[in-house]
Amino acid sequence: MSNRPVIGITMGDAAGVGPEIIVRALAHDDVHDICRPLVIGDAGRLRKAMEVVSSSLTLHVVETPAEARFERDAIECIDLGLIPEDLPWGQVSSVAGNAAYHYIARTVELIEAGELDAICTAPLNKAALHAGGHIFPGHTELLAHLTGTEEVSMMLVTPKMKVIHVTTHMGIIDAIARINPGLVTRTIERAHETLARAGNHHPRIAVCGINPHAGENGLFGYGEEEEKIVPAIEALRARGWDVEGPLPADTLFFRAGRGDFDCVVAMYHDQGHGPVKVMGLEAGVNVTVGLPVVRTSVDHGTAFDIAGKGIADERSLIEALRQGVELASRHPERA
């Protein structure tokens, strides 16, 4: 069983549901069947979460992954000791935001040193992250910065569809301005590479338009589809790739849900996130595509309204761990 990948789980915002969904997820035997999970966070906060969910697990604190025993009845934790005992649940905290940054930074150091096979992140809170002095729109951009990666993409993975985004954390006006044929091409290339690595070497990729009805031949918008999207699709089709679009998003996601396509390319954040989240937050996994390391995440936030109540659902984290294992096993550094 020693060939199971070691997955570094960052604890996320300590005031949110991250600690408790980690504790709940690591109580599942099937998680330990597929990987060796190691939490990078705060042992004190995990103990509080264990009390909240009435966990029977034990906590084993280590300084390095090599010291971890990876036993089923224990949570392995590298303790950064950044969270005070009295940190309240469910409130924005600069202390928790700063800690969330350092959990990620330490985990990147470990994976770049070859001590981890993948990163799986519990949710952080952007306001807390900023209050802690770390001005990033979210995990995706933070990880790109820490790994020295110029450009990455966010892919949401569900049992029914995969959605990759051309733009993510920016206003809609800025997003439309940023979209161009080169960016669309590179996003589709990252999707194609990810699907091929997972064994699908001839994926069917569908591309959303920007305007209603994908512009309907110039009736809506100012020719954005023809200017920003069509050249990319034509260039990739010339390679022999199965790329279709630009298509109206309202019907495209219905078709993707019934299995017509292997991946949808969304132009902006809500165009892709909305349809995925309608399926249920427990179903979605966030994958950062284009990093030199494997990173997956839950597709939900810190849920401050229920944090510390012991009712948070761990299924998205379990699915994120499964996806991390799958991608790690096919990652070039591990192959």
Give the pLDDT confidence score for residue 1 in this predicted structure: 45
The pLDDT, as a whole number, for residue 6 is 96
For residue 74, pLDDT beyond 70: yes
- Confidence band of 306 (pLDDT split at 50, 70, 90): very high
**Domain 159-278, CATH:** 3.40.718.10
Rounded to an integer, what distance in angstroms lies between the CA atom of residue 74 and that of residue 60?
6
| Residue 269 pLDDT exceeds 60 | yes
CATH architecture designation of domain 1-151+291-335: 3-Layer(aba) Sandwich (3.40)
| Dist. CA 122–CA 302, nearest whole Å | 8
Mean pLDDT over 201-220 rounds to 90
Q: Are 330 and 324 in contact (CB under 8 A)?
A: no
pLDDT band at 283 (very low <50, low <70, confident <90, very high): low
Q: What's the rounded mean pLDDT across residues 130-150?
A: 93
At residue 251, the pLDDT reads 94
Domain ranges of the chain: 1-151+291-335, 159-278
Question: Does 12 score more than 90 pLDDT?
Answer: yes
- Distant-in-sequence, close-in-space partners of 26: CB < 8 Å, separation ≥ 6: 32, 37, 39, 57, 75
Please state, rounded to an integer, the average pLDDT across all residues of the chain: 93
Q: What are phi and psi of 236, to 5 degrees?
A: -75, -35
At 242-264, the pLDDT tens digits run 999 999 999 999 999 999 999 99
Q: pLDDT grade, residue 115 (50/70/90)?
A: very high
The candidate with the shortest Cα–Cα distance to 99, out of 40, 170, 28, is: 40
Cα–Cα distance, 139 to 92 (Å, whole number): 17
* Alpha-carbon Rg for the chain in angstroms: 20
Closest CA to 251 of 206, 202, 311: 206
The residue type found at 180 is: N
Note the pTM of the prediction, 2 decimals: 0.86
Mean pLDDT of 37-64: 97
Is the pLDDT at 335 greater than 80, yes or no? no
Asked if 76 and 69 count as a contact pair (C-beta separation under 8 A), the reply is yes
Q: How confident is the model at residue 207 (pLDDT cuts 50, 70, 90)?
A: very high
What pLDDT does 198 receive? 79
Query: Pick from 293, 302, 292: which is nearest to 324 by CA?
Result: 293
The residue-averaged pLDDT of 75-95 equals 97
Q: Say which residue, 249 or 329, is predicted with more confidence.
A: 249
Task: Among 181-190, 222-231, 281-290, name the one with the lowest average pLDDT.
Answer: 281-290
Separation CA 155–CA 139 (nearest Å): 13
Closest CA to 17 of 322, 309, 296, 297: 309
- pLDDT tops 50 at residue 289: yes
Going by pLDDT thresholds of 50, 70 and 90, the confidence category of residue 93 is: very high
pLDDT digit string, tens, across residues 29-42: 999 999 999 999 99
**Domain pair 1-151+291-335 / 159-278, same fold:** yes
- What phi and psi values does residue 13 have, to the nearest 5 degrees? -75, 120
CB neighbour list of residue 293: distance below 8 Å, 6 or more residues apart: 108, 111, 112, 118, 119, 143, 147, 333
Q: What is the chain's length?
A: 335
Across 277-306, average pLDDT: 85
pLDDT at 307: 97
Query: Which residues have CB under 8 Å from 44's CB, separation 6+?
Result: 79, 81, 83, 85
Per-residue pLDDT at 169: 86
